[in-house]
Structure 1
Amino acid sequence: MTQTLSPNHELAAQLRDSRLKAGLKHWIGGQWVDAQSGQTFEAHSPVDNSLLTTVASGDAADIDRAARAAHDAFQTWKAVSGAERRKILHRIADLIEKRAQEIAVLESVDTGQAIRFMKSAATRGAENFRFYADRAPGAQDGQSLPAPGFINYTLRQPIGPVGVITPWNTPFMLSTWKIAPALAAGCTVVHKPAEWSPVTATLLAEIMDEAGLPKGVHNLVHGFGESAGKALTEHPLIHAIAFVGETTTGSHIMRQGAETLKRVHFELGGKNPVVVFDDADLDKALDAVVFMIYSLNGERCTSSSRVLVQEGIYDEFTARIAERARNIRVGDPLDPETEVGPLVHPRHFDKVMGYFGKAREEGATIAAGGQRVGDSGNYVSPTLFTGARNDMAIAQEEIFGPVLTAIPFTDEAEALALANGVRYGLAGYLWTNDLTRAHRFAQGLEAGMIWVNSENVRHLPTPFGGVKSSGIGRDGGDYSFEFYMETKNIAVSLGTHKTARLGVGQAAPIAKETAEG
């Protein structure tokens, strides 16, 4: 009997034939082009690691062409009014919403993320463009700073062509999160997406072109970090690099950009704690803990991958987490019922699987999961480690999968020491009904973003970013413009101040000690 395909599978099959079979090209200066070297690389489906498409493999020559196109386009784009940029960015948002199902299916096929989450990721991409579209008319606004005898005023101007390097987890949404404010500010862009998830970057380029974005304002170059990425971070026409990814790569980018004094914005790794005190609403806390580690396959920079639980409730609370983890639906990412899909790439799958042996060696207990699912593809069972200590690798290193490490604590002081006892500081989550403790603990927590009695709920005007090894700079609201724009001060004299006069009379005699010295 012939099996009936679901609508998601039918659309995926159509898109494979119509969009992916011919391969993916660069988008440079308003044209789809092959790599100048003619080289390509393969992208594979995380479901079964079969060939998905071939992709143009960029290098320094392609980056140079894209950077020059961005440089040339900047000369006119920077002068386009904020009101006109607003119109274009809203048209981009409209088209994203119109093609949201296509984006979601391609994202699931390319990354293994469950379709239930990718639908909202596409919608969030449109929200990012709308948010910054509405801020484009005021992007250059500054301050009036009067002083005796002067009027000082500031304004902001776009920094120039920028490089945007995006990761393989939720790549479409994170690309919009970086590109939208850059365009709103008046910058031009060279975008290098992660080589493990190249598909939806091509779709975004199509959408921006269809919306009327001038040729060369946005350029797309596929490739590997050691070739295309390195060339982008070193190129003298690129004035800044916005990067989302792994901490070690961020260090490389900073070194590579030093020669040309690149401004950098990094959103890097995390080992984010969620701290559960015994006075918390434990039912709500349980929902949040499970959601923030197992949604998006655990491949989320803000995931709460360490749960610190007060001793008196530790056994019961972790038992409830384990039960929920065992019930999570793992499977085909295009199935709307699926909650966890396959990890993005076999190399990442091997990395995550490697932590199960480390956990046993270090004396932790695998209370749930700890194994692969199925015989093919990159499927990992949702996993919980209990009986863990903060000095274990599973508590210190970013695993970036559906893997949670549970550590007990006795009191607030120990909880804070455990929470801060890692190299990272991106996000933190706190569950307690003690109002004063909530404020006190949040202020002591070494993290750029903290949610109290909540999972990660983003408010777009607020600053997004981390401290320590989790990043440099902030996204969100006008914080993004601080990166993509230069602030200029202009001082205008009112004609009332006196300037010191030199060379108008007989020179004063040189002091004896100075002449002799």
Structure 2
Amino acid sequence: MTQPHYQLFIDGAWTEGAQGQTMASENPATGEPWATFACAAPEDVDRAIAAARRALDAPAWRDMTQTARGKLLYKLADLIEEYAQEIGRIETTDSGKLLAETASQSAYVGDYYRYYAGLADKIEGAVLPIDKPDMHVFTTRQPIGVVAAIVPWNAQMFLTATKLGPALAAGCTVVLKASEIAPAPMLEFAKLIEAAGFPPGVVSVITGDAENCAIPLTLHPDVDRIAFTGGPETARHVVRNSAENFAVTTLELGGKSPILVFDDADLDGAANGLIAGNFGASGQSCVAGSRGLIHRPILDALAAKIEEKMTDVRVGDPLEATTHIGPLCTNAQVETIKTTLAKSTEQGATIRFGGAPLDRPGNYMAPTLVECAGAETETLKVEMFGPVMSLLPFDTEEEAIALANATPFGLGSGVFTQNVARAHRVSSRLKAGICWVNTYRAVSPIAPFGGFNQSGYGREAGVEAILDYTRTKTTWINTSDAPMANPFVMR
């Protein structure tokens, strides 16, 4: 069977990279190459940004009404829903994520584009009650300009929607950089951008390595805004690069999110929350609740409940509907987990189940439950990005909060308790951008998404996100017929 080959999508056209470089993508479920894709060179980055700049100033996009932009986004949302199953299957083949999740997530992100389609003509300015009676002063919000949107391989359609939706609704143009790991779904998505009827150059989709693609993109003097999702170390380079072009930058990074379970929690619900937070998406989630902090009196009962529920969990082919946990995207993740688990057991941790790769083709890691000996256990510190759950006991509410906040990250958090007062009290003190109470790993286009500290800054989704893709302009109009007064005195 012929392997598919994906080109770059630049200025409304499909093209090979300027230097002719290509890369192969492996199917994580088999370890076999399944597709190739063109890699962008610096010249391609220049072309994509130049096209975005032209499109920003061209009448076809510049003069399009906000309502008309919204209609394009509605059309894009319909196309995404129509092709969600196909895109999901390609994403599963490329990344190893479950088809059940990739297809449903692809369909759901249509609601993100509809949300911002509805907001496109709600971007308003204001007339200011200025203190000078001969002046009429008002503000308008204008598109911030050319946006560099950079997304990782996990949750690609979701993470793209949180950037592209508000950017396009605001009237910006976008160069979307897909990860060089598993980029196929983003290049398939580019076909829908084309089919929806966006003018050429409004959205370009490229991929490639850091040196030839990501660095030239984030350094480029014509980039006005950078929206980045990825790891903290890469984010530091992005921030340094943005010093060259003063691009407004938002960062959505990783985390070591805590899930606090108190002794009055419903054990079934708490066990399901921990399983969702650690084994959902095979643990390959930036909000993975990988630090399970458990009230000591219920630790053994909760661990037993998790073990009981995991007996029905199936690890296998991510394309099969009966599979709950699939392979990891890369073998490097498997190796990191093996090393981290080995160090943790040396520190006194106990592996209650799992703990090793599965003996089968592909990047399969057995779902693993670690009972930690102390807060310094390695699995509580390293972002695992795999199906590893770590449990640590606490004795008091104050201790639980202190343990939860003892991290440089602050993206997600969870609290399981039936005490409403405790739920409010604890959630308000957790240093995280998101807190789920008696649930976990829920998202919506209406709810802001983002973190504190080394989990980044800025928010994606929600009403405010669209304003982050605009700049405020203040206009002063002199309503007096009298000539301007003394030019040497500020009014």
Partner of 1:324: 309
Q: Secondary structure at the match of 2:245?
A: coil
- What residue in structure 1 maps to residue 358 of structure 2? 373
Per the alignment, residue 507 of structure 1 pairs with none
Candidates 154, 160, 171, aligned match of 1:175: 160
Match for residue 255 of structure 2?
Answer: 270
Shift of 1:130: 1.0
Q: TM-score, normalised by structure 1?
A: 0.90
Letter in 2 for 1:97: E
Deviates more, 1:143-152 or 1:76-85: 143-152
Correspondence for 1:214: 199
1:129 equivalenced with 2:126 (yes/no): no
What percentage of aligned pairs have identical amino acids? 37
User: Any idea what SS the aligned residue of 1:221 has?
Assistant: strand
Q: Which residue of 1 is the match for residue 35 of structure 2?
A: 53
1:337 to 316, 322, 330: 322
Preserved CA contact (<8 Å) 2:87 2:106: yes
Q: Tell me by how many angstroms 1:358 deviates.
A: 1.7
Matched, 1:146 2:129: yes
Question: Alignment length, in residue pairs?
Answer: 485
Aligned to 1:442: 427
SS at match of 2:413: strand
Deviation at 1:376, TM superposition (A): 1.6
Classify the secondary structure of the residue corresponding to 1:469.
Answer: helix
For residues 248 and 354 of structure 2, what CA distance do their matches in structure 1 show? 43
Find 1:400's aligned residue among 385, 398, 408: 385
Report which of the two structures shows the higher radius of gyration computed on alpha carbons: 1
**1:78–1:158 Cα contact (<8 Å) kept:** no
Q: Distance in 2 between matches of 1:360 and 1:380?
A: 17
2:335 pairs with 1:350: yes
Q: Distance in 2 between matches of 1:115 and 1:311?
A: 37
Counterpart of 2:94 in structure 1 is 110
Aligned 8 A contact 2:69 2:169 in 1: yes
CA distance, structure 2, for counterparts of residue 431 and residue 311 of structure 1: 14
2:341 and 2:378 in contact (8 A); partners too: no
- Partner of residue 38, structure 1: 20
CA shift for structure 1 position 493:
5.2
Residue 24 (structure 1) shift: 0.9
Q: 1:96 corresponds to which residue?
A: 80
Instruction: Note if contact 1:325-1:369 (Cα within 8 Å) is conserved in structure 2.
Output: no
Shift of 1:407: 0.7
Structure 1 stretch displaced more, 128-137 or 464-473: 128-137
Decide whether the 8 Å contact of 2:111 with 2:445 is kept in 1: no
CA–CA distance in 2 between the matches of 1:497 and 1:270? 61
Read off the aligned partner of 2:143 and give its amino acid letter.
P
**Following TM superposition, by how much is the alpha carbon of 1:500 offset from its aligned partner in structure 2, in angstroms?**
8.2
CA distance in 2, matches of 1:297, 1:114: 8
Q: Could you list the structure 1 runs, at least 4 aligned residues long, displaced by more than 6 angstroms after superposition.
A: 496-500
Query: Could you tell me which amino acid in structure 1 is paired with residue 217 of structure 2?
Result: L
SS at match of 1:323: helix
Give the stretch that moved more between structures: 350-359 or 45-54: 350-359
Q: Distance in 1 between matches of 2:382 and 2:139?
A: 44
Is 1:469 equivalent to 2:466 in the alignment? Answer: no
C-alpha distance in 2, partners of 1:328/1:251? 38
- Contact 1:390 1:421 survives alignment (8 Å): no
Q: Distance in 2 between matches of 1:398 and 1:246?
A: 10
Partner SS, residue 424 of structure 1 = coil
Give 5+ residue unaligned stretches, structure 1.
1-15, 505-517
Contact 1:325 1:383 in 2 (8 A): no
How far, CA to CA, are the matches of 1:373 and 1:104 in structure 2?
25
Q: Equivalents in 1 of 2:31, 2:20: separation in Å?
A: 24
- Whole-angstrom distance in 2 between the partners of 1:265 and 1:460: 17
Q: What is the rounded CA distance, in whole Å, between the counterparts of 2:312 and 2:482 in structure 1?
A: 76
How far apart, CA to CA, are the structure 1 residues paired with 2:349 and 2:270?
A: 23
TM (normalized to structure 2)?
0.95
Are 1:430 and 1:453, in contact at CA under 8 Å, matched by a contact in 2? Answer: yes
* Residues 315 and 325 in structure 2, CA contact (< 8 A), matched pair in contact too: yes
Whether the 8 Å CA contact 1:308–1:415 is kept in 2: the answer is yes
- Find the aligned partners of 2:176 and 2:325 in 1 and give their Cα distance: 29
1:283-340 C-alpha deviation (Å, 9 max, x unpaired): 2111111112111111111121111010111111122223333442100000000001
- Indicate if the aligned counterparts of 1:292 and 1:455 stay in contact, CA closer than 8 A: yes
2:268–2:305: 8 Å Cα contact kept in structure 1?
A: no
Q: Is 1:249 aligned to 2:241, yes or no?
A: no
Instruction: Point out where structure 2 has 5 or more consecutive residues left out of the alignment.
Output: none
- Counterpart secondary structure, 1:425: coil
1:281 aligns with 2:266: yes
CA deviations on 1:320-370 (whole Å, 9 max, x unpaired) are 223333442100000000001000012222222222212211111111111
Instruction: Determine the C-alpha separation between the residues in 2 that align with 1:255 and 1:333.
Output: 38
Q: Measure, in 1, the Cα distance between the counterparts of 2:149 and 2:119.
A: 20
Partner of 1:6: none
**Cα separation, 2, equivalents of 1:299 and 1:334:** 17
Deviations for 1:266-296, whole angstroms, at most 9, x for unmatched residues?
1001100110011112221111111121111
Inter-CA distance 497–335: structure 2 relative to 1 (3 Å threshold): farther
Question: What amino acid maps onto 1:437 in structure 2?
Answer: R
